[in-house]
C-alpha cells in the first residue's frame, strides 16, 4: 500500500499511527476555530494520534439556501493559515469549484473533495494539478467499486498522494448506512482509507430545511471501522454541537472526544502485529 506524505515525518498508511482528521464543520471565526484546533492537538498528542485540522470556509451544498455557509474563501484561508502556522499543524479543507484549488493549495496541506462532487472530473484534475495530497470522499450514491474510476481520474492527472474516505451510502430517504465491506474493497486500490464517522450518522435533509443526525452512534461506527482496519478517522467536533451553525446533529462534543479516541486507540493497538 502507498503511504501519503502529509508534512515532513507525518505519513498516513499501513504501519503508521492512526490519524485523526477533525474540527468544526464550518469556520465560524478565528478565536473559536483556533481554540478548538488547540484543544484537538493537545488531545491527540496525549494519545499518540497524528492530527490534521479540518474546517470548511464554505459549505456550498447546504440543504437550504438560507443556511450559514461559512466565511468565504479569503477570510477562511486567512484563518486556516493562522491556525496552521501558530499551532504547527497540517490543514485540510474542502474545495467546491476548480478555480479554488490553486489558492487553497497555498495554505492547505490536503485538499478535500466533497462526496457530492467526487465525480466532477474538472474539480479532480484541478486538485491533482496542485500536487498536494487529495482526500476524496466516496459519494453517498456510489458503490465502493465505483471509486476505481475516480482513482483513475486522479492518477491520470498526476495525483500520487490520495486518501479515500467512506462516509456512508444512501439507504432510502434521509438515511445513510455503512457497509464495512467497502473499507476492504476500496483498500484494494492501494491507498490509505479514511472513515468519516460523523457524516455516516447524518440523516440528509432529515429536518426538512437541514440535515439531522444521530451522534450517539458515532463511537459505535468508529469502533467497527477501526476494527476492520482504517488508516485515518474523520470526525467533525464542536464545543457545543447543538448550537453549531452546520451539521450540529451529527458532530460530537469536544468534551467527549478524548474518551472516544482512547477506546479507539486500544482497538487499534490490539490489531498491531506482535514484535
Four-CA torsion 248, 250, 256, 262, nearest 10 degrees: -150
pLDDT of residue 204: 86
In the chain, the domains with their CATH numbers are 4-271 (3.20.20.70)
Is there a contact between 232 and 194 (Cβ–Cβ < 8 Å)?
Answer: yes
pLDDT of residue 62: 66
Q: Which residue has the cell 484494494?
A: 188
Low-confidence residues of the chain, pLDDT below 70? 62, 209, 273-275
pLDDT of residue 274: 52
CA distances from 13 to 18, 214, 262 (A): 8, 29, 20
Amino acid at each position: 500500500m502507498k503511504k501519503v506524505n502529509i508534512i515532513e515525518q507525518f505519513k498516513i498508511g499501513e504501519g503508521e499511527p492512526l490519524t485523526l482528521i477533525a474540527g468544526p464543520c464550518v469556520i465560524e471565526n478565528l478565536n473559536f476555530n483556533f481554540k478548538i484546533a488547540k484543544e484537538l492537538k493537545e488531545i491527540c498528542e496525549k494519545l499518540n494520534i497524528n492530527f490534521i485540522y479540518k474546517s470548511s470556509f464554505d459549505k456550498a451544498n447546504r440543504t437550504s439556501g438560507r443556511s450559514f455557509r461559512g466565511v468565504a474563501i479569503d477570510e477562511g484561508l486567512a484563518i486556516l493559515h493562522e491556525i496552521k502556522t501558530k499551532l504547527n499543524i497540517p490543514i485540510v479543507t474542502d474545495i467546491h469549484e476548480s478555480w479554488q484549488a490553486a489558492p487553497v493549495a497555498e495554505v492547505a496541506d490536503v485538499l478535500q473533495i466533497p462526496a457530492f462532487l467526487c465525480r466532477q472530473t474538472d474539480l479532480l484534475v484541478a486538485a491533482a494539478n496542485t500536487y498536494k495530497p487529495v482526500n476524496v470522499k466516496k459519494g453517498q450514491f456510489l458503490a465502493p467499486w465505483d471509486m476505481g474510476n475516480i482513482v483513475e481520474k486522479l492518477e491520470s492527472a498526476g495525483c500520487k498522494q490520495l486518501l479515500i474516505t467512506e462516509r456512508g451510502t444512501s439507504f432510502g430517504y434521509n438515511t445513510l448506512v455503512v457497509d464495512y465491506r467497502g473499507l476492504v474493497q476500496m483498500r484494494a486500490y492501494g491507498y490509505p482509507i479514511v472513515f468519516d464517522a460523523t457524516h455516516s450518522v447524518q440523516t440528509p435533509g432529515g429536518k426538512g430545511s437541514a440535515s439531522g443526525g444521530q451522534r450517539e452512534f458515532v463511537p459505535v461506527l468508529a469502533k467497527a471501522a477501526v476494527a476492520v482496519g482504517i488508516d485515518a478517522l474523520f470526525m467533525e467536533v464542536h464545543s457545543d454541537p447543538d448550537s453549531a451553525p452546520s451539521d450540529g446533529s451529527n458532530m460530537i462534543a469536544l468534551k467527549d472526544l478524548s474518551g472516544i479516541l482512547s477506546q479507539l486507540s486500544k482497538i487499534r493497538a490490539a490489531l498491531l502485529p506482535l514484535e
